[in-house]
Amino acid sequence: MGVSDTRVIHDRPEIIPRNVARYVLVVKVVAFASIISSPLWLAALFFTSPQEYSPASSLVCVPVLAIFGTATVIHFSQRDPYLRRLMLAGLVAHMVASSLFLWVGFTVYGGTVDAFHYWTQGLQIAGRFQIVGWDAFHGPYWSTNLISNICGIGALLIGDGLPTLFIISSFVSLAGAFLFYRTFTIAFPKGDRWLFGLLVVLLPSLLFWASFVGKDSLIQYFIALTAYGFARITHRPTPSSVLFCAIGLAGALLVRAHVAAMLAIAITLPYAIGKSRSHTAGRVAKFILIPVLAVGTYFLVRQAKDFIDLQNDNSAGVLQQADIITRNSQIGGSAFNEGTSLSLRIAASPFLLFRPFPWEMHNAMGVIPALESLGLIYLVAVRRREIGFTFRRWRDPFVSFLLTYSAIFLVTFGGSISNFGILLRQRIMVIPAVLMILCAEQKVTARLSPQRMKDRLSLLPSERISRARRIPAGP
């Protein structure tokens, strides 16, 4: 006789989080709100500024993208019902975020945001292509020019389709969220994947700031791909794992070289000093990969000059450059840390995860970021014991990767950014790593009634349920 559902849950308590019903409810609410408000955000997406862009091609392309995205989500999450619900809700929520950003960009900022500049550059490239051919796509083929050239290719394929480009960008960031989820399940198989998935897919800042044409959605995807490859390397080193990690680093180098350097350092240091999960395979992988990673890190660091001049051997020059960036970012009504020394800014850098605080917001647009900051503070408070357990595992290569990358990122940006608008946009590159640290350990599950246990079991991946039921109950 097979094991009952109740028996399965008692045998595998680490995969049944205490608040899973609440997580599912949040997913349903987000999906319902996104669908019921679709007339509003679809109108914002297609008709915010028809004199600036034509909605004709997007009225065809966006529904096709939505259908393709839905089919892709169903295909890649068919063994995980919770992930399927979450990703389908995330698909619609990302479309809502794209529409909202497009409306805010035109209505609030008057079309002065970077996304519209890239789109304009793409239209100009497409126009020149009719005259000079492929010479219209001029170098360098990385950083800002990379995005302009991508928009140029998009303009050639779909014409004046700004809404379509926004939706494509939001789906790229959604693919990054999926990779982060897969990374988490590999690195922390007993962690609270339910809470992590909810946050990495539906956190407002991650939704909003990676929902438009630009570097943000691409860098999110390449960071996720790098983390996914490294998680596979630490779990079971294979050539495909190394390839994923290398592609992620190469992509990050093309989009934002300084972030690629941070990732490379975060990979090399922990993998050199951390303990391997597999003794023989781990030692062989270290012997082969550490020299490669060290050379790759040196190369990436030398290329990371678009943020702070890391090649400058004069420390005073680096500090001076950081101060210049800080002064340049202290513009508008969102400036903070004015007149603060570099040493104090670096000391306060961990608090960048929780800013802006509610009392630092002076307009309606700052309400949601402030509420999100309060939510993160609450999560840290209620999960402080679990976070402590994760920190004590610092020699685990992937935990060390997360801690090293987060520390480097926060110190670098803490010393250089003093504008809340820039902070909120740039911080999304480290938020998923921080969320993994928050959710790596699962809170103890209280004893439940058999019916509630069955309800939770229905959200488990079908593969695990069938495998569990095949375990004999006894002689």
CA-nearest of 326, 303, 306, 322 to 314 is 322
Inter-residue contact 442 to 386 (CB < 8 Å): yes
Could you report the average pLDDT of every consecutive run of 10 residues in the chain (475 residues)? 36 57 92 95 89 85 95 91 94 95 87 86 89 84 87 89 93 96 94 94 92 92 95 86 92 89 84 57 59 61 47 41 44 55 69 75 72 89 90 89 90 71 84 94 60 57 48 40
Inter-residue contact 206 to 424 (CB < 8 Å): no
Q: Which residues pair with 292 in a beta bridge?
A: none
**How many Cα neighbours within 13 Å face the side chain of 432?**
32
Q: What per-residue confidence (pLDDT) applies to 115?
A: 87
d(CA 253, CA 366): 32
Q: What per-residue confidence (pLDDT) applies to 470?
A: 41
Question: Please, which residues have CB within 8 angstroms of residue 454's CB and are 6 or more apart in sequence?
Answer: 5, 6
d(CA 293, CA 237): 14
Q: What per-residue confidence (pLDDT) applies to 61?
A: 92
Cα angle, residue 63 at apex, residues 58 and 64 outer, rounded to 5°: 95
**How many Cα neighbours within 13 Å face the side chain of 368?**
10
Helix ranges (H only) for 159-278 are 162-187, 193-202, 204-208, 215-235, 239-255, 257-273
**Domain coordinates of the chain in residue numbers?**
20-213, 307-446
Torsion angle, CA of 410/411/415/416, rounded to 10 degrees? -50
Q: What per-residue confidence (pLDDT) applies to 231?
A: 93
* Total Cβ atoms within 10 A of residue 11: 10
